[in-house]
A = this chain, B = another copy of it.
Amino acid sequence: MKFCTSCGHAVALRVPEGDDRERYVCTACEFIHYTNPRIIVGCLPVYEDKVLLCKRAIEPRYGLWTLPAGFMENGETTMAGAARETWEEARARVSNLELYRIFDLPYISQVYMFYRCDLDDGKYGVGPESLESGLYREDQIPWDEIAFPVVRETLQDYFRDRRAGSYPIQVMPLEYRPH
């Protein structure tokens, strides 16, 4: 950032008094601009032995497959955000959301939260950010065309946990892996 959101003058990076790291501080009004990690909420919608995937119609990772997920909005819960994204990207309604995977991505200051859930009536469509959607069995998943490491990890864990019959919640940091 270059300019103060409060007064419009230039900001500069400096360590505010009592702080221990650089912030964007206004050179005119001294307003301190904090920037914080963002939360991405998503769903792992399940219908019978299949999971719902969407093919991305936007960058990054245009044309690759993902679970429905996106930036959490102000004023909503993580669960409501995950369901909202699932509607927006796959025109799918979901129920019985249970927290499943949390990923820390410190290199891009993001935290992912995926909820396992039931896909209502097995129905879905295609939202404006998707090229297509589909229900996939484990052996049908396009493993070589998955958009993000967090999605691949969540899918692999899910099918493993399903064989074991329990779905423990896990938090895991994910280091950068070039695609």
Contact = CB atoms under 8 A, between A and B. Distances in A.
Interface of A: 1-11, 18, 21, 33-39, 71-80, 99, 102, 104, 106-107, 109, 111, 128, 169, 171, 173
**Copies of this chain in the oligomer:** 2
Q: Binding site of A, secondary structure by majority: helix, strand, loop or mixed? A: loop
7 contacts: A3-B5, A3-B6, A37-B39, A37-B73, A77-B106, A79-B173, A99-B102
A18 B128 contact: yes
Contacts of A75: 106-107, 109
Contacts of A111: 39, 72, 78
A98 to B, nearest CB: 9
Contacts of A74: 35-37, 109
